[in-house]
């Protein structure tokens, strides 16, 4: 029986399955453990099940001398120092596929919400500003027949493209094995939806130069990772009308401080990173995260290893 540390309670019964085979310590607080708390809790631990908000850096890995496997409750692994883990011979797992459709649903919901200004409309009703039907009030953008540019045609991007077909949208995309030039996509798209992983190459991919290349009527949607978009440049883009709107499920930093200028920008819809937040998706993520942990502790190949 090995010792495992889980950095937050998870939905469903997956942790009960883990506890039937190993000693499990679960962080019970709502906020994630601070770096020094996390380093303290992983000492003597063989298995770590962590969230995207947990920074598993070289210092932590070196502090966990008995660690054998890291299971990340996320589709990606950008919060884990994979180089340090590889040097230690640690197995690292992620939870792809099981959250694809839920995240694609949310991405398309954000496209619709931003296009039709749903957040603004809801706020007007609640504030008592809806006095009568007006022909030119809260005019938005058509989604049907519009051009959707997908940055990163992987699992989630492909699922968003399938949804776009139902709205008879023209879909452009960038991909390693095809697609169009990135800047051509920005210039031609009515909606730009980001589905690329966070890597050194995609960090700050959308900055002032890119936002200025987009249509002034365009909408930027990001359900991937916050640092792919330059937050300050996006705030300026909305304030100065370089683009019409942005709809975000991820931000940089995350969460945004209450006083951040982006939160005061017009045309912004922002959510608290809920792309995979359905009962089914989050429970399946927990099951796969535990499967990864169990496999690593037994010395077997992980069902879903990090790339």
Show which residues are catalytic: 225, 254, 273
How many other CB atoms are there within 10 angstroms of residue 109's CB atom? 19
CA distance 27 to 46: 16
CB 262 within 8 A of CB 256: yes
Q: Classify 70 in phi/psi space as left (phi over 0), alpha (psi -120 to 50) or beta.
A: beta
Find tokens 């991007």 and name the residue: 157
Q: What are phi and psi of 111, to 5 degrees?
A: -55, -50
Give CA separation, 264 vs 66, 190, 239, 252, in Å.
47, 23, 9, 15
CB 70 within 8 A of CB 48: yes
Find tokens 């010792």 and name the residue: 3
Alpha helix positions (H), the chain: 14-19, 35-41, 58-63, 82-88, 100-115, 118-126, 155-165, 182-188, 208-213, 231-240, 279-297
- The strand pair at 178-179 and 170-175 is best described as antiparallel
Find tokens 């942990």 and name the residue: 293
């Amino acid at each position: 029986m090995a010792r495992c540390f889980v950095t937050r309670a998870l939905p469903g019964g997956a942790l009960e399955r883990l506890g039937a085979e190993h000693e499990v310590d679960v962080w019970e607080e709502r906020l994630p453990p601070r770096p020094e708390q996390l380093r303290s809790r992983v000492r003597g631990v063989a298995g770590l099940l962590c969230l995207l908000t947990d920074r598993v850096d070289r210092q932590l890995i070196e502090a966990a001398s008995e660690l054998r496997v890291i299971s990340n409750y996320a589709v990606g692994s950008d919060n884990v120092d994979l180089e340090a883990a590889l040097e230690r011979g640690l197995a690292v797992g992620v939870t792809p596929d099981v959250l694809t459709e839920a995240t694609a649903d949310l991405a398309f919901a954000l496209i619709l919400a931003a296009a039709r200004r749903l957040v603004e409309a809801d706020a007007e009703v609640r504030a008592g500003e809806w006095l009568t039907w007006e022909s030119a009030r809260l005019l938005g953008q058509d989604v049907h027949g519009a051009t959707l540019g997908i940055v990163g045609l992987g699992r989630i991007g492909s699922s968003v493209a399938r949804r776009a077909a139902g709205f008879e949208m023209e879909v452009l995309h960038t991909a390693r094995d095809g697609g169009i030039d990135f800047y051509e996509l920005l210039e031609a798209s009515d909606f730009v939806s980001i589905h690329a992983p966070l890597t050194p190459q995609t960090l700050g991919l959308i900055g002032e130069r890119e936002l200025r290349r987009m249509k002034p009527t365009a909408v930027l949607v990001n359900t991937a990772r916050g640092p792919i978009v330059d937050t300050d440049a996006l705030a300026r883009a909305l304030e100065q009308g370089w683009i019409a709107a942005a709809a975000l499920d991820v931000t940089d930093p995350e969460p945004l401080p209450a006083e951040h200028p982006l939160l005061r920008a017009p045309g912004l819809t922002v959510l608290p990173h809920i792309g995979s937040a359905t009962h089914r998706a989050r429970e399946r993520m927990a099951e796969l995260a535990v499967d990864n942990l169990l496999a690593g502790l037994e010395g077997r190949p992980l069902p879903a290893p990090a790339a």
